[in-house]
Structure 1
Amino acid sequence: MSQRLTIALDAMGGDHAPDMVIAGADIARERHPDVQFLLYGDAARVEPLVAKRAALKSVSEVIHTDDAVAADAKPSVALRAGRRSSMRLAIDAVAEGRAACVVSAGNTGALMAMAKFVLKTLPGVDRPAMASFFPTLRGESVMLDLGANTECTAENLVQFALMGSIFARTVLGLTEPTVGLLNIGSEDVKGNETVRGAATRLKEMPFPGRFYGFVEGNDIATGTTDVIVTDGFTGNVALKTAEGTAKLYTEFLRRTFQSSLTAKIGYLLARPAFQKLKARTDPRRYNGAMFLGLRGVCVKSHGGTDALGFANAIGVAANLATNGFNEKIKEEMQRLASANPIPDTKAAAV
């Protein structure tokens, strides 16, 4: 019998926790029969939900804690006061080797702060970046950062580009992924000093991929590049805008096909095609962003997702842990560091 993969879950993280977390874990259990869960949270609320699902109960352990990180908690406060929170204990399980990965739908800033403090970063990485897949006309692309770092230096963006390229090679199987820096124009003179500085360095350095140059917002959906690099503020705005646009067009279509009898008949005829379209653009399908650059697999789920979306986030964590993705990131970063040393920005600031 193959050894089970242990996944630590922050059972109290997310807008609809713990119900959504437990239901999502049950869906993930069906998809990944070789996983087992460590569920950190309020046992009085979590255990009754698990008890209703016999199959999930057989592969789960509930670890009680009264504390949970609030959605509006400041990262610094959560880091100091949340040592016994469900989020922190789930991360600790990875650091201590009791779990292969952690998944949380809780406070993004707190998760980043705790994960960076507990798991530490890989050599050559100053800040972890949140990365995930993005649907495009060409298939899928990788986009980072999606909200972990609201302010970045040029060197941060360079590191994001390197990690994003490795991510695309490892997960998407691309031999030479193209990397683009998100900007307000494609010309070299466009953008702020940080973006231009990152572009200058990426043009000069060899890395596993090909630097395309600047890309604009409309290039995200067209799939102009395999990897899109930006700061967390811009990346999160772009992500939420895309999600909102998808919902807007879905609602427009619904209202249009209800506008007349002819439209309703037309919908019935086209219903299979629209169901495929809905599935292709469903944000839950792409739920689950990984913090690249940590010494452990940590996946952030959208806080407002449902059970299906959370199950997909668990699936991302399971796949990354099973395929040894973090070790590949570590090996590639070490190889790149020896071939093309990255300046020590911390030392330079002293």
Structure 2
Amino acid sequence: MENFSADTRRIALDAMGGDMGPTEVVAALQLALREFSDLCPVTIVGNEAELTPLLQQANLLDHPKVALLHASEVITMGDEVMTAIKRKRDSSMIKAIELVKNGEARAVVSSGNTKILVSAGTLKLRTLAGVERPALSPVIPREGGHFILIDAGANPDARVTHLVHNAILGSHYAQLELGVERPRVGLLTIGTEEGKGNSLINGTHESLKALGDLVNYVGPVEGFQVFFDHVDVIVCDGFTGNICLKSWESLSKFFRNELKAQMLSTPVRRLGGLLAKGAFTGLRHRIQPERYGGAPLLGLRGTVLKAHGSANRYALMNAIGDASEFIRVDFTSRIESDIERANKILRPEPADAKTP
């Protein structure tokens, strides 16, 4: 089934990449169509033989906003990057990215292999003018709200310019996703004193200060400040960010499991747990990852949203909704002018190259 319309404001949805399988992806698409009245059209990409009965069961087979594009291959978590990109050209992930590259869609949503998604998205879509490397930017809960972490793993070997670009990308994303008009941007380091950090941190700190009002840079932040209301965007390299993100997720699971074990350990505590059930439910909803279903790969000529490999239908539903919002506001076009201004500040034109 293919019923592509002339409308290119379309989402390409990879149905085969995640741990939960296409059943959960179709359920997420059904939920998204119910939840978001202005949702952009969606092309679901994957094995037609598996998807057709699922779409039919969900009453989406002839839905005016849904198209199906057959893909005979699947990229697995064990695939090597270049092997997958070169040899699995008929995979659901690569074909979804190709839809954006060819102008038949504006955004990709996938819960597949992160490394391959980042690499394929970068190679096929290319970065925005002036941007050297893309960055993954999940939304993380903190005291009184949320913050943007950028980069969470796309670029582990970052340079000063990359982190400055991350600050601009993250600031724009915070405006869109968090609704903050003037996001506070902080640089993750080991101390807030001047000069306390490695050469990458110190160089980035000086460069961010040089940007003036282009970015609302409030200075370095330490690890113990992260979950309090200090900043809206935390900038770091992808190596550091990925370790932070996975450590926070692991710690969150540890506390949930430990709290549950402690509350069930005695009859008195079980009774207390029942009395406090509402508070525990509220806490679970507050920190649950489903609310922000995907981390965008910012800085590309097109939107790529990476959902967690084990994302359920509610997380995927929100990722699809976020992709639609990116398309609606034409997010990528808003960034290039700020990147150009930053590059001129960081790399001014030589005096002898200027026109008299």
TM-score, structure 2 normalization? 0.89
* 51 and 127 in structure 1: CA distance in 2 versus 1, 3 angstrom threshold: same
- Higher mean C-alpha displacement, 184-193 vs 138-147: 184-193
Query: Are the aligned partners of 1:41 and 1:86 in contact in 2 as well (CA < 8 Å)?
Result: yes
- Higher mean C-alpha displacement, 198-207 vs 104-113: 198-207
**Corresponding position of 1:45:** 50
Q: Distance in 2 between matches of 1:38 and 1:15?
A: 20
Query: Are the aligned partners of 1:91 and 1:102 in contact in 2 as well (CA < 8 Å)?
Result: yes
Query: Are the aligned partners of 1:243 and 1:283 in contact in 2 as well (CA < 8 Å)?
Result: no
CA deviation after TM superposition for structure 1 residue 262, in Å: 2.2
CA deviation after TM superposition for structure 1 residue 5, in Å: 5.2
- Higher mean C-alpha displacement, 238-247 vs 26-35: 26-35
**Corresponding position of 1:313:** 319
**Corresponding position of 1:16:** 20
Alignment of 1:45-124 (within 5 A): 45-55=50-60, 58=63, 59-124=65-130
Query: Are the aligned partners of 1:165 and 1:208 in contact in 2 as well (CA < 8 Å)?
Result: no
Alignment of 1:1-350 (within 5 A): 6-35=10-39, 36-55=41-60, 58=63, 59-337=65-343, 340=345, 342=347
CA deviation after TM superposition for structure 1 residue 296, in Å: 0.9
TM-score, structure 1 normalization? 0.90
Over residues 87-136 of structure 1, what are the superposed CA-to-partner deviations in whole Å (9 max), with x where a residue is unaligned?
11111112222223110011111111111122211111000111121111
Letter in 2 for 1:33: S
Structure 1, gaps ≥5 residues long:
345-350
Structure 2, gaps ≥5 residues long:
1-6, 350-356
Query: Are the aligned partners of 1:153 and 1:194 in contact in 2 as well (CA < 8 Å)?
Result: yes
Identity %: 36
Over residues 13-66 of structure 1, what are the superposed CA-to-partner deviations in whole Å (9 max), with x where a residue is unaligned?
111222222222222121123433211111122222222101465242221121
* 56 and 267 in structure 1: CA distance in 2 versus 1, 3 angstrom threshold: farther
Query: Are the aligned partners of 1:154 and 1:198 in contact in 2 as well (CA < 8 Å)?
Result: yes
Letter in 2 for 1:214: P
Query: Are the aligned partners of 1:101 and 1:298 in contact in 2 as well (CA < 8 Å)?
Result: yes
Could you list the structure 1 runs, at least 4 aligned residues long, displaced by more than 6 angstroms after superposition: none
Query: Are the aligned partners of 2:207 and 2:346 in contact in 1 as well (CA < 8 Å)?
Result: no
SS in 1 for 2:227: helix
Query: Are the aligned partners of 1:29 and 1:56 in contact in 2 as well (CA < 8 Å)?
Result: no
Q: Distance in 2 between matches of 1:239 and 1:151?
A: 17
Over residues 178-208 of structure 1, what are the superposed CA-to-partner deviations in whole Å (9 max), with x where a residue is unaligned?
2111112223333222122111211222243
- Higher mean C-alpha displacement, 22-31 vs 274-283: 22-31
Over residues 143-171 of structure 1, what are the superposed CA-to-partner deviations in whole Å (9 max), with x where a residue is unaligned?
10111112111111111112112222343
Query: Are the aligned partners of 2:157 and 2:237 in contact in 1 as well (CA < 8 Å)?
Result: yes
Q: Distance in 2 between matches of 1:164 and 1:37?
A: 26
Query: Are the aligned partners of 1:175 and 1:209 in contact in 2 as well (CA < 8 Å)?
Result: no
